[in-house]
Homo-oligomer: A and B are copies of this chain.
Amino acid sequence: MSESAYRPLSNDDAIAIARDITDLFDSNDNLLCEEIGDGNLNFVFRVYSVPEQGVPTKSIIIKQALPYAKVVGESWPLSLDRARIEHEALTIQGRLVPDLVPQVYAYHKDMAYTIMEDLSDHTIMRKGLIEGNQYAAFADHISRFLANTLFYTSDLGMNQQDKKRQVERFINPDLCKITEDLIFDDPYTVSDNNNINPAIMDEHEKLCQDASLHVEVMLLREKFLTQSQALLHGDLHTGSIFITEASTKVIDPEFAYYGPMGFDIGAVFANLLLNAASHEHWTKDHSKRDAKRDYLIQTIKEIWNLFHDRFLQLWHSNGVDRLSFNPAYQEIYMKRVLQDAAGYAGCKVIRRVVGLSHVADIDTIADAAAKERAERLALAIGTAMVKRNREIQHIDELIDICQSAFKGVHTS
Q: Which residues on A are within 8 Å of B, measured CB to CB?
A: 155, 160-161, 164-165, 167-168, 171-174, 176-177, 180, 184-185, 188, 211-212, 214-215, 217-219, 221-222, 225-229, 323-324, 326, 328-329, 332-333
Contacts and interface: CB of A to CB of B under 8 A. Distances in A.
16 contacts: A155-B222, A160-B180, A161-B176, A161-B177, A167-B171, A168-B171, A184-B323, A185-B323, A218-B324, A218-B329, A222-B333, A226-B227, A226-B228, A226-B229, A227-B227, A228-B228
B214 A160 contact: no
A176 B228 CA distance: 15
A173 to B, nearest CB: 4
Given A226-B229, A227-B227, A171 B176 contact: no
Given A164-B176, A227-B227, A328 B171 contact: no
Nearest to A257: B164
A259 to B, nearest CB: 10
Given A171-B167, A185-B323, A328 B211 contact: yes
Contacts of A333: 222
Contacts of A323: 184-185, 188, 214, 217-218, 221
Contacts of A177: 160-161
A215 B219 CA distance: 23
Closest 9 CB pairs of A and B: A161-B173, A164-B173, A218-B329, A168-B171, A215-B328, A215-B329, A155-B225, A226-B229, A164-B171
Most chain B CB atoms below 10 A, which of A171, A227, A328:
A171
A71 to B, nearest CB: 17
Given A160-B180, A222-B155, A226-B155, A326 B168 contact: no
Contacts of A184: 323
A173 B165 contact: yes
A236 to B, nearest CB: 20
B326 A218 contact: yes
A214 B155 CA distance: 17
A174 B221 CA distance: 29
Contacts of A164: 171-173, 176
A211 B327 CA distance: 9
A214 B329 contact: yes
Contacts of A326: 211, 214-215, 218
A102 to B, nearest CB: 28
A330 to B, nearest CB: 9
Contacts of A218: 323-324, 326, 329
B161 A332 contact: no
Contacts of A332: 215, 219
Contacts of A212: 328
A333 B218 CA distance: 10
A217 B329 CA distance: 10
Given A155-B226, A165-B171, A215-B326, 17 more contacts: A155-B222, A164-B171, A164-B173, A167-B171, A168-B171, A185-B323, A188-B323, A212-B328, A215-B328, A215-B329, A215-B332, A218-B326, A218-B329, A219-B329, A221-B323, A226-B228, A227-B228
Nearest to A177: B161
A341 to B, nearest CB: 17
A42 B2 CA distance: 37
A70 B364 CA distance: 67
Contacts of A225: 155, 160
